[in-house]
């Protein structure tokens, strides 16, 4: 796709950001939610550590684990781009009809509209929350190399998150109880992504399952790269390749689902 | 410009009985019923035509428009709009068409109207000159600036509809589909919307397909008419031809003499015709076309009365349509 075709999508990003800024209280609420969630988890882990003076398996000491838990919330926030909600809402209200009248690819327009949500959450919510905990608790300072790998990996995790959310949103074509699907998705994805517990600390079979699912590339992968929990360059390459593969596979799957869904659009009335 | 060949659209609708029991039973058994919203519609609308697509509620108008705009895929049959099959080449087709759905907004709900236009400009890659020309036209006819910087969701229906109609035309589409475009507009704005549509048709040769329950829209805009009933086209032709299918005609005249004896004389002399007094002391004679020719009726009136004024109004579109919907005229 050339640059001029891509330019058609910038207004979707710009308008999404504009709409977003009209509901400023959302950021405050997101910040409070994230702060609380991090707080609860950090103190839970501190209690666990209190009973295990030898530290946890997987090379996670307390500052490292605190960093993990904190940044896991940040990644979770970034991936909550509301794409699932918006897509299923449009399908159910029938507004999808109007979206189909625009000469653009609907999934790409949705991605463009979701990007500012992710990025504003990352800056307006994540930065203050991370700063707050950096003052309160000991954290592990990442290396420059780790941060670079993390940046690439976090970008890929956004694409994976988008693919998952778009697929869930498209479920609106099949069921009207999209709320239930989303609740299940939220908890399943959060768990297998490693947002609650790093994969290295999961019981063996569970970790094995998590490793073959796409979700580990959303939180566990980027944070292993940031915290140096991999075996040399080859280990880092494996994490990134897996992410890339899943990102491509999910996008292809979502594109396929979209093509199937659009053929069965039935907007009655209106 | 628009071609429909045997377009069919069927929906599967879940059957459910009435009341709570009926709803509960769908948990265990779900039966589907096939509803045929559009059954084999064929028509052709030449470029530059302003066609009305008329039908009673549930006649399949909206469904047909959704297939022509690429939103829905037909169950069978084929449609072509500006040479493209809309549902197969949705995005390319979307660049060729403009659409107003009276009940749905195509504007960005949380943003002010001018922002929606800026977005459309980029999305459709509208050349500067075209954009400026169209915005000036919309301003002149619809006074869009008056909508200010209020988010669309806070606009009244009338305010929003002005912006909707303008938004459908901003990229100089080859075809514009207008589904109830004057819903919620007052007389002055209705007139402005009709002028705008007629203007772009005259200047750019834009093909117009209008569906409306507002007879005023249809007569003010359209030169051709397609009437659908039960998912089939039951009449096609010019507005004039449609009106000619009326099975009764009327003559209104004024004369020197008393109305009462005139009415009874007409009743006796023109069997099957009815005469009544209308405002201003004039007499309206309605006669069945099958029984009397206009010449016979006029001859009778001129022979028997000292006629001072006489008009033969066009048959009323609404009356014609009512008869078509009721199935009394098969054209």
Evaluate whether residue A83 is within a structural domain: yes
Q: List helix spans (H) across chain A.
A: 3-7, 10-22, 25-50, 62-79, 83-93, 96-99, 106-120, 127-136, 144-170, 178-193, 204-212, 220-227, 232-263
The DSSP 8-state label assigned to residue B230 in this structure reads T
Domain range for A22 is 12-263
Separation of alpha carbons A267 and A259, rounded Å: 16
Q: What is the ipTM of this complex?
A: 0.83
Which of B289, B186, B192, B184 is closest to B246 using CA atoms?
A: B289
In the prediction, which pLDDT does A21 show?
84
In this structure, the strands spanning B97-101 and B175-179 are parallel
In the prediction, which pLDDT does A268 show?
53
Largest interatomic CA distance in chain B: 78
Q: Which residues contact A118 (CB under 8 A, 6 or more apart)?
A: A78, A79, A80, A81, A158
The whole-angstrom distance between A145's CA and the closest CA on chain B is: 39
- Give per-residue pLDDT as tens, A231-255: 888 999 999 999 999 999 999 999 9
From the candidates A11, A26, A105, which should be mutated to test the interface with B, based on the most B CB atoms within 10 A? A11
Evaluate whether residue A5 is within a structural domain: no
In the prediction, which pLDDT does A53 show?
67
Evaluate whether residue A7 is within a structural domain: no
In the prediction, which pLDDT does B173 show?
97
- Give per-residue pLDDT as tens, A110-154: 999 999 999 988 888 888 899 999 999 888 888 999 999 999 999
pLDDT of A270 higher than 50: no
Set of chain B residues whose Cβ sits within 8 Å of the Cβ of A106: none
Written as one string, the DSSP assignment of A65-131 is: HHHHHHHHHHHHHHH--SHHHHHHHHHHHTTHHHHTTSSS-HHHHHHHHHHHHHHHIIIIIIHHHHH
CA B222 to chain centre: 8
Which of A208, A168, A215, A217 is closest to A190 using CA atoms?
A: A215
- Give per-residue pLDDT as tens, B74-102: 999 999 999 999 999 999 999 999 999 88
- Give per-residue pLDDT as tens, B141-151: 999 999 989 99
Evaluate whether residue A229 is within a structural domain: yes
- Give per-residue pLDDT as tens, A142-195: 899 999 999 999 999 999 999 999 999 998 888 877 888 889 999 999 999 999
Set of chain A residues whose Cβ sits within 8 Å of the Cβ of B104: 94-95, 97-98, 270
In the prediction, which pLDDT does A225 show?
95
Positive or negative torsion for Cα A171, A173, A176, A179: positive
Set of chain A residues whose Cβ sits within 8 Å of the Cβ of B115: 15, 18
Q: How confident is the model at residue A55 (pLDDT cuts 50, 70, 90)?
A: low
Question: What are the structural domains of chain B?
Answer: 45-243 (3.40.50.300), 247-314 (3.30.70)
In the prediction, which pLDDT does B331 show?
41
From the candidates B60, B61, B122, which should be mutated to test the interface with A, based on the most A CB atoms within 10 A? B122
Evaluate whether residue A120 is within a structural domain: yes
Q: Which of A8, A18, A268 sits opposite B122 (nearest CB)?
A: A8
Q: Which of A11, A18, A95 sits opposite B122 (nearest CB)?
A: A11
Evaluate whether residue A270 is within a structural domain: no
Q: Which residues of chain B have pLDDT under 70?
A: 16, 26-30, 58, 327-331
In the prediction, which pLDDT does A194 show?
93
A11: nearest CA partner in chain B = B119
Domain count, chain A: 1
In the prediction, which pLDDT does A125 show?
87
Q: Which of B62, B94, B111 sits opposite A101 (nearest CB)?
A: B94
Q: Is A268 on the interface with B (CB under 8 A)?
A: yes
- Give per-residue pLDDT as tens, B26-65: 666 667 788 888 888 899 999 999 999 988 776 788 889 9
């Amino acid at each position: 796709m050339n640059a001029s075709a891509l330019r058609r999508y910038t207004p979707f990003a710009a308008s999404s950001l504009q709409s977003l800024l009209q509901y400023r209280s959302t950021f405050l609420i997101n910040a409070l939610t994230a702060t609380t969630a991090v707080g609860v988890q950090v103190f839970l882990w501190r209690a666990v550590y209190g009973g295990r003076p030898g530290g946890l398996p997987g090379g996670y000491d307390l500052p490292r684990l605190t960093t993990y838990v904190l940044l896991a919330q940040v990644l979770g926030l970034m991936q909550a781009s509301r794409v699932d909600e918006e897509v299923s809402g449009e399908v159910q209200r029938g507004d999808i009809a109007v979206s189909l009248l625009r000469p653009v690819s609907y999934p790409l327009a949705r991605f463009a509209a979701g990007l500012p949500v992710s990025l504003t959450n990352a800056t307006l919510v994540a930065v203050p929350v991370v700063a707050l905990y950096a003052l309160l608790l000991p954290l592990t300072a990442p290396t420059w190399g780790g941060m670079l790998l993390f940046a690439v990996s976090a970008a890929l995790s956004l694409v994976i998150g988008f693919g998952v959310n778009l697929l869930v949103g498209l479920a609106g074509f099949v069921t009207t109880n999209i709320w239930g699907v989303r609740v299940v998705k939220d908890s399943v994805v959060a768990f297998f992504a490693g947002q609650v517990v790093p994969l290295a600390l999961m019981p063996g079979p569970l970790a094995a399952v998590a490793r073959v699912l796409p979700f580990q590339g959303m939180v566990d992968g980027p944070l292993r790269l940031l915290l140096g929990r991999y075996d040399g360059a080859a280990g880092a390459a494996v994490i990134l390749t897996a992410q890339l593969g899943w990102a491509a596979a999910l996008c292809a799957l979502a594109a396929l689902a979209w093509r199937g869904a659009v053929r069965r659009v039935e907007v009655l009335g209106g | 410009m628009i071609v429909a060949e045997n377009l069919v659209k069927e929906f599967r609708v879940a059957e459910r009985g009435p009341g709570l029991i009926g709803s509960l039973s769908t948990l265990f058994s779900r039966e589907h019923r096939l509803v045929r919203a559009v059954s084999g519609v064929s028509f052709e609308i030449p470029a530059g035509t302003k066609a009305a697509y008329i039908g009673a509620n549930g006649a399949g108008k909206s469904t047909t428009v959704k297939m022509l705009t690429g939103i829905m895929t037909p169950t069978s049959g084929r449609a072509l709009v500006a040479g493209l099959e809309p549902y197969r080449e949705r995005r390319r087709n979307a660049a060729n068409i403009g659409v107003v759905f009276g009940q749905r907004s195509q504007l960005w709900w949380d943003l002010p109207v001018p922002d929606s236009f800026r977005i459309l400009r980029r999305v459709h890659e509208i050349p500067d000159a075209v954009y400026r020309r169209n915005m000036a036209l919309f301003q002149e006819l619809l006074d869009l600036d008056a909508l200010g910087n209020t988010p669309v969701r806070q606009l009244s229906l009338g305010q929003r509809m002005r912006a909707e109609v303008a938004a459908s035309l901003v990229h100089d589409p080859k075809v514009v589909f207008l589904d109830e475009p004057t819903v919620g507009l007052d007389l002055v704005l209705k007139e402005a919307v009709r002028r705008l549509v007629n203007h772009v048709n005259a200047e750019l040769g834009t093909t117009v397909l209008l569906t409306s329950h507002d007879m005023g829209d249809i007569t003010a805009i359209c030169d051709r008419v397609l009437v659908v009933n039960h998912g089939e086209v039951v009449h096609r032709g010019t507005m004039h031809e449609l009106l000619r299918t009326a099975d009764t005609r009327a003559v209104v005249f004024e004369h020197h003499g008393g109305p009462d004896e005139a009415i009874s004389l007409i009743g006796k002399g023109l069997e099957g015709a009815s005469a009544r007094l209308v405002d201003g002391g004039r007499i309206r004679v309605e006669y069945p076309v099958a029984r009397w020719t206009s010449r016979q009726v006029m001859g009778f009136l001129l022979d028997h009365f000292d006629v001072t004024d006489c008009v033969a109004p066009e048959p009323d579109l609404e009356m014609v349509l009512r008869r078509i919907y009721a199935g009394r005229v098969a054209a």
